[in-house]
Structures are given as C-alpha cells and as structure tokens.
Amino acid sequence: MTGETAFLGVVPGGVTALLAILVPLVGALIIGTLTHRPNLRETATLVTAGVLFCFVLSLLPEVLAGGRPGITLAEPLPGIPIYLEVEPLGLLFALVASSLWIVTSLYSIGYMRGNQEKHQTRFYLCFALAIASAMGIAFAGNLVTLFTFYELLTLSTYPLVTHKGTQEAMKAGRLYLGLLISTSVGLLLLAIIWTAQVAGTVDFRPGGILDGNVTGAAAGLLLLLYTYGMGKAAIMPVHRWLPAAMVAPTPVSALLHAVAVVKAGVFGIVKVAVYVFGLDFLARESATGWLVYASGFTILAASIVALRILKNQGNLKRLLAYSTVSQLSYVVLATALYSPLAAAGAALHIVAHAFGKITLFFAAGSVYTTARKTEIRQFRGIGRRMPWTMGAFAVGTLSMIGLPPAAGFISKWYVLLGAFQAEHMVAVGVLVISTLLNAAYFGPIVYMAFFQDEEPAAQPYLGGGNDLPGSHGHGEAPLPVVVALTITAAMTILIFFFPDVPLALAQALVEGVR
C-alpha cells in the first residue's frame, strides 16, 4: 500500500477501490426507490455508471506509477481478510467493465423501452449489483475475496437471466445457477482451501504462492480445479450455461455475458496463473501443460458449433455465445503458454474481445428491437435498412477475426508472438485455424446483410425465432441504441490505433511478474 493519493488528491487509492464497489451498490439502492419514475431511474443508472468510471480511471496514474493501493474490509476467517488491492490486470478489467457500463446503460434505455420489457427496475437494480460484484472481482486482493464476489456475481445475474419469467427462462436460470455454483463450490472452493492449507495464505502475490508447496501431478490437479472451478470462463465442457443465458435481454448478454461475467472467469484464471501459481512455476511443471490442449479444443470446437449454427441459419445470439466461448479460450490459451508475452496478450484480449463482442450483441439487440428478427436467415439485406447497426456489426466481426484495423488484431498478435516465444506449434496451429473458422462463420453474415436481397415480407413465418415474425417496415434502431453501438464500434477501432493504456497495463502486469 502506498501513501500516494489518487482521487482528487484526497482519497487514497484503496478507498477508491472500495468506492468502486460502493458506488454501484448505492446506485442500486437509488434505482430501487425510483420504481415509478423511469426517467429519473435511468438517469440514476447513467450517473452512477459515469461516477464509477471516473473513480476507476482515477486509479490509473498511481497503478501505472507502480503503486498497488489496497484496503482491508473485514476478516471473516482468521488470517484471511476480505481484502482489495488494485493491480494492473484488475484495473484493466475494471476499466473495461465500467466504461462499457455507461454505454450499455444508454443502450438499455433504448432497448428496454423499445421492447416494453417488464420489471425494468429489477433489471437496472440487478445490473448495478452485478457491476458492483464485477468491481469486487477486479480488485480482489486474495482468493477468498475473489470467490466471494464471484458468487455474488452469479447470484446477482441470476434474476437477469430469468428476467422473462417464462418456463424457458427458468430452465436456463437453473442451468446457469446450477453449473456456475456447482463448479465454483465444488471445484474452486476446494482448490482455494487446498491452496490455503499448503501455502498458508491465499493472497495474490507477484511470482505466486504455490511454488515449492505443490509439485508434479498435484500442481496439475490444482490447476484443473481452478480452471474448471471458474465455470464463468466457459471452457468446455462447462460452457453450456453461456448459450442458455442468452434468453436474457440483450443488454445483459452484451455487458454481462460478453464482458463482465465471462471476463470475470478468464480474468480469474489469468490472475490465478500469474499471482497464485506464478508463470515461471507453471512453465517448469510438466503436469500443467494440458491447459493449452483443453483451451485449444474449446476454441476449435466452439467455432465449429458456431459454424453449424450459421449453416442452419439459427439464432444469432446463440452463434455469438459460441463465439464468446471460443474467444474466451483464446485468453486461457494465451495464459496456458506460460510466457510473459502471451500473458500480456491474454490481458489485451480481455479488452479487445470486450469491445468487439459487445458491439456484436448491441447490433443483434438493435435488430431485435426494431425488426423482431433473431434468426440469421432473417438478416438478408438488413444492412441497407440499418446501415449503422450492421456497419458496427462488421467492425465487431473484424475484431473477432483479428484483422486490422480492429482491436482484436493487437491482442491476437501478442498471443501469437507468445506462442512462438514458447515454441508451442500446436498453439500456433490452433490460432491460425480458428482465425479461418472465425472468418468462415462471421463473414457470411456480413455478406448476407449487405449484399443479398431481403426475403419477401409476405413469406409465412417458419418458426424458430423468439417472438414475432420479422417485418420489413422498419428503418434504423432507436437513437440511444444506435449511439451506443456506434461508440463501441468506434472504440474497437480506436484501441487499434491508440492501444497505449491497455498496453501499458498489460506490460505492468508482465513486469510485476518478472
């Protein structure tokens, strides 16, 4: 903990980290009291998001200067406090989540009103709670704190997944909760307690805490418990909750199930690899090499599933979900190379994928709001009616494939460099093949949208969608929606040209490790 002050020169950094959790919590309380005043309620959401982003941003100079502000909140177990500490990776995650929350709030206003969704207060309230939990995960200073907020995130997003209250939503909610809690309680908690027992501490420390405490197969097993315990990282076969969670309203899918929740999973894995195991230790142990193959398999398998969805012209959100599964495993794969360059790539990919994928979801939700179209087959020619939406979609696609000038290129570049540095040709192969697969399932959608003709509007509805059959009497989406998705698309490109801040944080992460 440094004595430097961060926010307005008055508040110490540790307190700011705490405030980052408290701000959305207070926001949630305010939102809860404004049930009958939607305008005020949504203003409160936007203001809360803005304030939160300022707080998180204020931590940046100190962390870049090498500071690691921290604060102890409570001590539930002897010697194991609930402890917050801001380090580069966490700050990066917090920055991404909090900045995108502003945009998502804007988007939600257009989306929720446009679709006349019910229980909007509960929606905004749980959203704020989920963000508070995500901030807690980002700034967690030890494993128990991470675990605590990880569980809170699951619980606070559950009402969002089941938002519609239909039988289907309830079933999805069961799968969501069942899979996430059973992996976290059954595997992650076990791994944490195991770590506490052998290492005597659960703190995140540069260089790790496990070196010398476990060896051989035990280290491999422990890594296995951590990897699959973080079910939010959606490594196969614990990925099924993610497609199921797509029944939620699109803003939830966009921010939570493309950014906050899933990133909490991979963020946790990166953090555990870097600060609990230590990359050097992992690189030395041969029993930990399996992770590359597990994540590589997930990358390819999820891409193939996405390809099949395209072939059947199925649900777009479902395709995006499988794309997320695949992209998340990029981060895990990068981590599993156990090389500093790849670790930096992992951190960058958390950012790049966030901006790209949220754009794609925004676009999907935009089409749903204006045209009630959810299936890929309905997307023919839609780019002419909704040029902004589908333009942004195309940008997001570029980022997913990893082409310039989109953010995805930079992160993929680093991961590839890391793979070469680690001389792991399997990883290189996976990256190359998956790039082709990404192009194969995203390219046709963009092509359909812009270059094919619309199906005649009179055609009877073929089923398979969620709601009304698609109608063609529409133009562009509501303004807040368009603004939101334009911003994220622009950010995706801007990060390509100005990657300074994420790069600096990623390098700080790697330097801390060295």
Partner 1 sequence: MLNHLPILQVIVPLMVAPIAALVRRRGGAWLLAVFATWTSLGIAILLLRQVLDGGTIIYSLGGWAAPWGIEYRVDMVSAYVLVIVAGVGAIVTPYALMSVRREVGVKQAPLLYSALLLCLTGLLGITITGDVFNLFVFLEISSISAYALIAMGPDRRALHAAYKYLIMGSIGATFIVIGIGMLYIMTGTLNMADLAVRLPSVGGRTVSVAFAFLAVGISLKLALFPLHAWLPDAYTYAPSTVTAFLASTATKVAVYMLVRVFFTVFGIAFSFQTMNLDRVLLPLALLAILSASVTAIYQKNVKRLLAYSSVAQVGYMILGISLASVTGLTAGLIHLFNHALMKGALFMAVGAVMYQVGSVRIEAMNGLGRRMPWTMAAFVAAGLSLIGIPLTVGFISKWFLVLAAVEKGMWLVAVAVLVGSLLAIVYVWKVVEAAYFRQYVGSLEVREAPLSLLLPTWVLVLASVYFGVDASLTAGVARMAAEFLMGVAP
Binding site for partner 1 (CB under 8 A): 74-78, 82, 144, 147-148, 151-152, 155, 162, 165, 170, 174, 177-178, 181-182, 185-186, 189-190, 193-194, 196-197
CB of 146 to partner 1, least distance (A): 10
Of the pair 105, 162, the CB lying nearest partner 1 is at: 162
Helical ranges in 386-461 per DSSP H: 387-401, 407-421, 425-451
- Residue 182, both tokens: 């059973």
Of the pair 248, 348, the CB lying nearest partner 1 is at: 248
Of the pair 196, 406, the CB lying nearest partner 1 is at: 196
- Residue 314, both tokens: 């199925």
CB of 504 to partner 1, least distance (A): 33
φ, ψ for residue 142, nearest 5 deg: -150, 175
Residue written as token pair 């614990």: 238
Of the pair 138, 348, the CB lying nearest partner 1 is at: 138
Distance CA 344, CA 329 (A): 15
Of the pair 169, 328, the CB lying nearest partner 1 is at: 169
CB of 194 to partner 1, least distance (A): 6
CB of 296 to partner 1, least distance (A): 29
Of the pair 180, 274, the CB lying nearest partner 1 is at: 180
CB of 24 to partner 1, least distance (A): 17
User: Does a cis peptide bond (omega within 30 degrees of 0) precede residue 237?
Assistant: yes
CB of 448 to partner 1, least distance (A): 37
Query: Cα–Cα distances in Å, from 234 out to 120, 179, 241, 424, 487?
Result: 28, 10, 8, 23, 28
DSSP 499: -
Of the pair 150, 379, the CB lying nearest partner 1 is at: 150
CB of 200 to partner 1, least distance (A): 12
CB of 335 to partner 1, least distance (A): 25
Query: Cα–Cα distances in Å, from 266 out to 233, 374, 385, 487?
Result: 5, 28, 37, 25
CB of 147 to partner 1, least distance (A): 6
Of the pair 75, 423, the CB lying nearest partner 1 is at: 75
User: Does a cis peptide bond (omega within 30 degrees of 0) precede residue 88?
Assistant: no
Distance CA 281, CA 211 (A): 6
Of the pair 11, 175, the CB lying nearest partner 1 is at: 175
CB neighbourhood size of 5 (10 A)? 16
Distance CA 452, CA 450 (A): 6
Burial bucket for residue 116 (CB in 10 Å: 0-12, 13-18, 19+): exposed
Return the SS3 of 211.
strand
Distance CA 139, CA 133 (A): 10
Of the pair 18, 82, the CB lying nearest partner 1 is at: 82
Helical ranges in 230-289 per DSSP H: 241-244, 250-251, 261-271, 279-284
CB of 71 to partner 1, least distance (A): 15
CB of 174 to partner 1, least distance (A): 7
Helices and strands counted in the chain (H then E): 22, 4
Query: Cα–Cα distances in Å, from 237 out to 103, 183, 241, 263, 289?
Result: 32, 11, 10, 17, 18
Of the pair 227, 374, the CB lying nearest partner 1 is at: 227
> With contact defined as beta carbons under 8 Å apart, do 343 and 509 qualify?
yes
φ, ψ for residue 458, nearest 5 deg: -75, -10
